[in-house]
Amino acid sequence: MTAPGETAASASPRVPAAFEGGEIVISQRPSLARRFLRHRGATAGMFIFVAIVLLATIGPRVSPYDPYISDLSDQLARPGSEGHLLGADHLGRDVAGRILHGAALSLQMGFIAVAFAVVLGLLLGLPAGYFGGATDMVVMRLMDVMLAFPSILLALSIVSILGPSLNNAMIAVGISVVPVYVRLIRASALSTRELLFVEAARVIGVGHVQIMARHILPNVTAPLVVVATLGVATAIIVGAALSFLGLGAQPPTPEWGAMLSEGRGFIQTAWWMSVFPGLAIMVTVLSINLLGDGLRDMLDPRMRV
Amino acid sequence: MGAYIRIRLLAAIPVIVGVSILVFISLYLLPGDPVQAIAGEVPLDKARVEELRELYGLNDPPWEQYGRFAVRALQGDLGTSLGTRRPVLGEILTFLPATLQLTGAAMLFAVLIGVTLGTIAAIRAHTWVDSLTMVLALGGVSIPSFWLGLMLLIVFSVWLGLVPSTGTEGVHRLILPAFTLGYGAAAIIARLTRSSLLEAMSQDYVVTARSKGLVERTVIIRHALKNALIPVITIAGLQVGNLLSGAVIVETVFSRQGVGRMLVNGILGKDLPLVQGTILFVATAYVLINILTDLLYAYVDPRIRFR
């Protein structure tokens, strides 16, 4: 975590002018959109990601295949054989068609899990950082306990309570990453609450909830957007991992992790069942990671690796 | 140093107690009667349920039940597996060596490859070597390990026939799983080593070392890298947890018998005591590993100890 002083110093980026040698220098800061387009990785990530979203929404409508109906005459058809660009699986279902149907599931997995974590993170992190004291103490000790579970293990424990299903996997992944967001939001809130404008708001009698929503929250957004974007990528991988282990989406759902789990039984005979769903996961995750890295370079130079 | 160790160990106690409470509560969060959860799929009549509730002490106040659970756990009694009817701790210890072997090999691999690639990228910063290394690293955080494992199996086992696809015995069976498990950590370590080394190379002591006429290799290895690796130790320590939980996936891909595979089978088979015991065991181990990492960190960087 960054030192409070460091954040406080850079928390006022809207100051337009600076004195340098007695002369007023107007900072030439290009617009966000321009800086984004100049970042090659981020632009590439954005393009790929938009393409994936389009495929996920339009693909299932135009695909001639039903992802659930098997066609035993096409069992294990090789990629490139008639009607099966990426081959067919052990039940004769078109792999490409199933991947298209699975895209929406993976995207939902990533976004719903992260949205869940961000909401919980705000509900716990804002008051912890803003009020400090006992609230902070209770919330942070709870987070310490959650952080005692190494990454996917917490998601596994939650699935073991809720039972294996795609929805439960989303909840499990969401809960398991909550500490990341709570810590981030708390740290930002902690440094922002000391700033003059917060004090001013308090002096003129603005309520706590409104101060948190109107004055603290905007100062949390930049790092939060970066971490949440990269978090979507992680959530997609962890969600697919749970399905791969048989603890998330269940067959015959065309979820990418579940497809890989089925493909694993056929690596000797049908490599395409394992190659393409995984490639889909990787391209999706890579595009989001590129996007997130770009956003980080733009919004929060201090976090640059 | 002694005081520092004591403080860190004392601070870990409430965390471990918290973990044990969460694991204990999970039994009560399950839908339905805990007795039914313990019994698994077997149908029970009302009288038998009541009898079992009394037997397991489920009619006692929750804090008394937790007290018994905690005391037993401290004595090494993590309950009995429903699947094998053997003590959970015994089951864990049976499978632990295979998992430790896998995570150890993966860690070794991750540090060697990560530090080497990161150092090369930093020395050749802003050239194509640097770009290529960082693309490989970005791949490392974007490739799902279960897919990487399957791809390695297809290429090296099915197509080339170089290594057997499954099994736990022998070093050659460890190579692919360790690579699969360690690749992500290697990528993270490479990225950190690069940025940390670049920062170190702009420090005054590096300028001094250069100006007293040392050859570049000595400057980098003896002066810059030695300091640049300090944050790498922390990240490597944090990766131990990721590797331990990643073992769950990699063991499944390669059909290795290990704690991770056992845990997944336990969840699928609704073997609740096994799942609870394993999670408590692994989380506690993870907390202790993190303390060890911090101690190591304090040992190599004296500034930490005196803060």
Residue of chain B nearest A247, judged by CA positions: B268
Q: Chain A neighbours among B 26-45 (CB < 8 Å)?
A: 26, 29-30
Does residue A20 carry a pLDDT above 80? no
To the nearest whole Å, the CA of B216 is away from the closest chain A CA by: 24
Cβ–Cβ of B246/A152 closer than 8 Å?
Answer: yes
Does residue A133 carry a pLDDT above 70? yes
Pick the range with the lowest mean pLDDT from A24-33, A163-172, B23-32, B298-307: A24-33
What ipTM describes this predicted complex? 0.85
> What tens digit of pLDDT does each residue of A197-214 get?
988 998 998 889 999 988
Which residues of chain B lie closer than 8 angstroms to A159, CB-CB?
267
DSSP A47-58: HHHHHHHHHHHH
Across the interface, of B26, B146, B244, the residue whose CB is closest to A150 is: B244
Residue of chain A nearest B246, judged by CA positions: A152
Distance CA A174, CA A24 (A): 48
Check residue B133 and give its pLDDT.
87
B142 touches chain A (CB under 8 A): yes
Selection from A223, A228, A235, A218 nearest residue A297 by Cα? A223
Check residue A5 and give its pLDDT.
39
Chain B contact probe: residue of A106, A138, A152, A291 with most B CBs at under 10 A: A152
Does residue A296 carry a pLDDT above 80? yes
Which residues of chain A lie closer than 8 angstroms to B244, CB-CB?
150, 153
Residue of chain B nearest A242, judged by CA positions: B249
Across the interface, of B16, B22, B144, the residue whose CB is closest to A241 is: B144
Question: What dihedral do alpha carbons A11, A16, A19, A25 form, nearest 10°?
Answer: 140
Does residue A16 carry a pLDDT above 70? no
Which residues of chain B lie closer than 8 angstroms to A293, CB-CB?
138
Per-domain boundaries in chain A: 1-29, 31-303
> What tens digit of pLDDT does each residue of A226-247 get?
999 999 999 999 999 999 999 9
A265 touches chain B (CB under 8 A): no
Write down the CATH number for the domain with range A31-303.
1.10.3720.10
Distance CA A55, CA B35 (A): 48
> What tens digit of pLDDT does each residue of A68-108 get?
877 777 777 788 777 787 888 888 888 888 999 999 999 99
CA atoms within 13 A on the CB side of A236: 32
Per-residue pLDDT of chain B (307 residues; tens, 9 = 90+): 678 788 888 888 989 999 999 888 877 776 666 676 666 666 777 787 788 777 777 777 888 888 888 888 888 888 888 788 899 999 999 999 999 999 999 999 999 999 999 999 998 888 898 888 888 888 888 899 999 999 998 898 888 877 776 655 666 678 889 999 999 999 999 989 998 998 888 888 888 888 888 888 888 888 888 888 888 888 888 888 889 889 999 999 988 889 999 999 988 888 888 988 999 999 998 888 888 888 887 787 777 665 4
Do B242 and B184 meet the contact criterion of CB atoms below 8 Å apart? yes
Question: What's the start-to-end Cα distance of chain B, in Å?
Answer: 12
Q: Chain A neighbours among B 156-195 (CB < 8 Å)?
A: 158, 165, 191-192, 195
Which residues of chain B lie closer than 8 angstroms to A286, CB-CB?
138-139, 142
Distance CA A271, CA B34 (A): 44
Cβ–Cβ of A157/B275 closer than 8 Å?
Answer: yes
> pTM value?
0.85
A193 SS3 class: coil
Task: Please state, as a whole number, how many other Cβ atoms lie within 10 Å of the Cβ of residue A37.
Answer: 14
Report the b/e string of A71-105 with b at 16+ CB within 10 A.
Answer: beebebbebeeeebebbbbbbbbbbbbbbbbbbbb
What residues have CB less than 8 Å from A188, skipping those under 6 apart?
A7, A129, A216, A219, A220, A223, A224
Q: Chain A neighbours among B 107-136 (CB < 8 Å)?
A: none
Q: Chain B neighbours among A 142-171 (CB < 8 Å)?
A: 142, 144-145, 148-153, 156-157, 159-161, 164
The percent of residues in chain A predicted with pLDDT above 90, rounded, is 44
Cβ–Cβ of B249/A237 closer than 8 Å?
Answer: no
Distance CA B14, CA B3 (A): 18
Check residue A283 and give its pLDDT.
94
